Amino acid sequence: MKLTFLGAAGEVTGSSFLVETDEVSFLVDCGMFQGGRDADSKNYARFAFAPETLDFVLLTHAHIDHSGLLPRLVAQGFRGPIHTTAATADLLEVMLADSAHIQQKEQEWKKKAGLRNADRPPLYTIAQVNRTLQQLRRTDYDVELHPHPAVRCVFRDAGHIIGSAIIELWVRDGNHTRKLVFSGDLGQPCRPLVRDPASIAEADVLVVESTYGNRLHRSMDDTLTEFEHAVTDTIRRKKGNVIIPAFAVGRTQEILYLLVDLHRQGRMPEMDIYIDSPMALKATEITARHWALLDQEAAAMLQWVKSRRGKPRIHFVQDVLESTALQRIRQGAVIISASGMCNAGRIKHHLRHNLGRRDCSVIIAGFQAAGTLGRRIVDGAKTVRLFGIPVPVKADIYTIGGLSAHADQAALLDWLKHFKRPPQRTFVVHGEQDTAEIFATTIRDRLGWGGIDIPAIHSAVIL
């Protein structure tokens, strides 16, 4: 059996892993690379395998860094099924279409600006997205699936976003069957909206994420206190706006939940909350549709919101004119907009009009990959370029890691402790190189595990 690491190796984005035996060939995830100077070249590169030879794809969740190259895979010849949870399949209808739209708009802007590669077509089209959606096959959590005679698998709740999954796999290779586990993105326990990650008892081979494997998140109480201060101080004292870059799926819904809950407790002022992302509205509707997957507190909050009459005031912004009108608001607004790493979409316009104002604040509530605009802001840039225009960074910048949808080091270790015995091989992925190295060392030191590796991109191992 051969396992090849096609992405999320020494970095956080581009998650994709190829499993091959004499009987079967399949992918776990097919994600887009985001951030960094070479992201475009990686996304446009030919696949390191013949797409038409794949038997199927297993998808852990809908975030673009895990799903974003699926339409390109289909466009280049893959015709097999893509197995994922029902909630993820619903989200993909929104997210992949939005990805194609953003690429088209970015390409149009590059042409107008006369930038390099302006004539290169987008990675894929809406038509190719639609073909991809036709190949989706839905499954439920905790139900055994047989995507191939040599493979059986079960999707377990990963607690990252709605529909996210840990995938347990039993793969026959000749006369032997080995169990592989792919963690996908693991959520932080005791967070609002989603349930805690499911425990896994055993694996021969484990592929585990390490996004925050080198640090601890603040406690939820401390996180909420900081979040409350950032919003309240900006709106009441400074009388400015709060800008929150957020992934349209998962993070936006969690932040909205927290804003409403803190307002309900009397800890937030009256405010207008603008969700400036058509995709976020659809994702919020999908989240509500799959209410059975939410934790009990989130389900109760949905009922409370329905019983209220417009307080706090929540506005879902749809068309471009509405979005543009937000740029004229000088105070009292909390604007949540994608993309979460500030690299594309409407958030760039809101940063352009608010980042240079001392009376405003920007709340960074999620991971910012190396090379992204969000990462430059977090790292303390004094000036950033938006649409080719230098913009001074004068707004207060709050980095609130405790709102992350990713497990921190302690939560990752707690999840690993549920294994009855160490896997024969453990591969630490989905983390920047330094972070992955620290987490691998921590596993060895704290848990006493051996057989731990940090794969390089495009490296392969024989299992």
Q: DSSP 3-state assignment of 305?
A: helix
pLDDT, tens digit (0-9, with 9 covering 90-100), for 347-377: 999 999 999 999 999 999 888 888 889 999 9
What single string gives the DSSP state of each residue in 409-429?
HHHHHHHHTTSSS--SEEEEE
Residues 6+ apart with CB under 8 A from 407: 186, 187, 188, 189, 197, 209, 212, 415
**CA-based radius of gyration for the chain:** 22
Residue range(s) in the chain whose domain bears CATH number 3.40.50.10890? 220-403
Strands (E), 256-364: 272-276, 313-317, 333-337, 361-364
Q: What integer pLDDT is reported at residue 330 of this predicted model?
A: 93
Would you give the DSSP letter of residue 157? E
User: Element (H or E) spanning 67, and its range?
Assistant: helix 64-67
**pLDDT score, position 392:** 96
Q: What does the alpha-carbon distance between residue 155 and residue 119 come to, in Å, rounded to a whole number?
A: 41
User: Low-confidence residues of the chain, pLDDT below 70?
Assistant: 295-311
Q: What are phi and psi of 178, to 5 degrees?
A: -120, 145
Examine residue 339 and say whether the peptide bond preceding it is cis (omega within 30 degrees of 0): yes
CATH superfamily of 2-215+405-462: Ribonuclease Z/Hydroxyacylglutathione hydrolase-like (3.60.15.10)
How confident is the prediction for the chain on average, in pLDDT? 91
User: What share of the chain has pLDDT > 70, as a percent?
Assistant: 96
Give me 119's structure tokens: 């004539």
∠ CA 167-31-117 to the nearest 5 degrees?
A: 175
Give me the pLDDT at residue 65, please. 95
DSSP-derived pairing of the beta strands 460-462 and 396-399: unpaired
Among 250, 233, 251, CA closest to 242: 233
pLDDT at position 300, please? 64
Residue with tokens 């039993």: 170
Measured between alpha carbons, how far is 41 from 322 in angstroms, rounded to an integer? 34
Residues of the chain with CATH 3.60.15.10: 2-215+405-462
Amino acid letter, 12: V
pLDDT at position 379 is 94
End-to-end CA distance of the chain: 5
Supply φ then ψ for residue 271, to 5 degrees.
Answer: -160, 160
Residues 20-54 have pLDDT tens digits of 999 999 999 999 998 877 998 999 999 999 999 99
Query: Cα-Cα-Cα-Cα dihedral of 196, 198, 200, 201, to 10°?
Result: 90
Spatial distance between the Cα atoms of 111 and 378, rounded to a whole number of angstroms: 30
Looking at residue 367, its pLDDT comes to: 80
pLDDT of residue 307: 59
Encoded tokens for 250: 């998962």
pLDDT confidence of residue 241 = 95
Question: Which segments of 112-185 are extended strands (E)?
Answer: 136-139, 145-148, 151-157, 165-173, 176-182
432 CA to centre of own chain: 15
For residues 316 and 128, the answer to whether their CB atoms sit within 8 Å is no
Other Cβ atoms less than 10 A from the Cβ of 234: the count is 28
Label the pairing between strands 82-85 and 136-139.
parallel
Q: Are 346 and 281 in contact (CB under 8 A)?
A: no
Q: pLDDT tens digits, residue range 130-151? A: 999 999 999 999 999 999 999 9
Helical packing angle, 220-232 and 251-264, nearest 10° = 80
Is 220-403 a domain of CATH 3.40.50.10890? yes
